[in-house]
Structure 1
Amino acid sequence: MDHNRRKDLESLADDAPAILASCKLAQPWLKRPGDIFQCKTTAYRPGRYYVMGFNPGGKGDAGVCLQSTLEQLPAINDKKAKHPLSGTRVYGNLKKLACMLRAHDPQEPDTWEDDLFITNLFPDASMGVRAWKQQNSHRPARDYVSAVWPLHQQMLSVVRPSYVIAFGQGSRDSTFRYLWDHLKDEDSHKTWDQTMNPKTKALDPTIKSFTVSELPVLSGTLKNVTFIGIRHLSYHAPSDTLRCLL
């Protein structure tokens, strides 16, 4: 394993539990099933894309707790491990998305499973958005986003993407909507409807986007990061119209 990546993984394994434990809202997640990465650890390095779902799927009542998952991160052998999403409903469409993204990075090798960084907005496993909301109903969703965002700031500072691609872009409870609510510029006075990008509106109005000119992360600021919302990959293949924004 590359020395710098091991160091980054060890830092994440050390810091993530403290980040989550520091907030009463996120603290219970450490004792429940969950995961931080939805990709191989080889992808935890600088790259153009940061792909994000809502949360890990699962009943939430079985499996390894998040605390243990984090402790094991630096010891994972990706040469032997399967992709974490292999065999799931999302995997096939995720591969199509990766091929689409790779077309814009001709220098990248054809090894998307090792290269594409994928995570979730929340590391807390559940059977779906509705179940997750019932399980975490103590406060509004925006409070949970604020609680977990420092963890994403740490990962974003390593990946340093130009694009964050959220699969799940519904107008109420979705990864993209929660990101927009958390990161939108309060002075811009833009409405939710204005996340529909003019470049894609005629061809595929389901694709939404907004750009953050300065995105604070753990180590400084990322410039002009574009957040793109697409339909959930568990149910829909990525639209070719996405290419208009990349």
Structure 2
Amino acid sequence: MTLRALTASLKYHLSDHLERSGSILYSAGSTLKPGEVYLMGFNPGGNDDDPAYKYPTISEMIDALTERTTNAYLDEGWTSKGDKAPLQKRVTWLLEALGYQPREVCSSNLIFLRSRDAAGVEYRIADDCWPIHEKILGIVQPKLILAYSNSDRSAYGYLRNKFHAGGQDESISSGHGSWVVRSFDAVINGQNTCVVGLPHLSRYNPIGKTEVIAWIKSRVKE
């Protein structure tokens, strides 16, 4: 699929949401190419009621998609002081620990619409966004989809329901209380893919959890 065709598909499938704020990619447009991993959060955060900042609409983000050169995890400051938030630091550490260059990893969210928190967006909108993910996955063809969090109402939960309904997950202790890291194997767009779900990285700190890193690496088939 060409990037022009992807843009047209975005406008078609998201036609009911074009004037709402949100984001398509968290990575640069240049990451829309074959790669080993696809990173998925749940949905973009932020406060649309903040008068000091006007977030771009879905339509504006689609128009700018191919020219996007920044990475939200690396180039933005999400704290009130404009510093890196813990989630950004943890995503960066996690990808590097797994052997990937964070700036080269295609990154997005299950739901493209923005809300203050996960409860502020309708979960059903994931069905509107999924055809876009299918097309992105067709371009990237990842061996690994890395998702956070791993509850039923998450990118991991959505993928599990779609591709692994009723199947048994593999899991390992996250190293934090009773939280676990979960995984299953699936065939997505004809590609053998390992889906891994971590606890949400705004609360879970994977830094230094070497057993978790080794387990994720062992789950990804060569």
TM range (shorter): 0.7 to 0.9
Q: Provide the aligned length of Structure 1 versus Structure 2.
A: 199
Q: Within 2, Cα distance between the matches of 1:15 and 1:30?
A: 12
Whether contact under 8 Å (1:195, 1:209) holds in the other structure is: yes
Does residue 1:147 correspond to 2:139, yes or no?
Answer: no
Partner of 2:71: 83
% same residue:
22
TM, length-normalised to structure 1: 0.73
Whether contact under 8 Å (2:180, 2:199) holds in the other structure is: yes
Partner of 1:180: 160
Residue 168 of structure 1 and its aligned partner are, at CA, apart by 0.6
- Corresponding residue to 1:227 among 184, 190, 195: 195
Structure 1, gaps ≥5 residues long: 1-6, 22-26, 106-110
1:118-197 aligned at under 5 Å gives the runs 118-132=107-121, 136=122, 141=123, 143-170=124-151, 172-185=152-165, 189-190=166-167, 194-197=168-171
Q: Within 2, Cα distance between the matches of 1:54 and 1:84?
A: 14
Whether contact under 8 Å (1:164, 1:228) holds in the other structure is: yes
Whether contact under 8 Å (1:196, 1:206) holds in the other structure is: no
Does residue 1:68 correspond to 2:60, yes or no?
Answer: yes
The 10-residue stretch of structure 1 (44-53 or 57-66) with the greater mean CA deviation from structure 2? 57-66
Q: Within 2, Cα distance between the matches of 1:244 and 1:211?
A: 14
Structure 2, gaps ≥5 residues long: 79-84, 218-222
Q: Within 2, Cα distance between the matches of 1:229 and 1:50?
A: 12
Q: Within 1, Cα distance between the matches of 2:28 and 2:111?
A: 18
Greater percentage in helix? 1
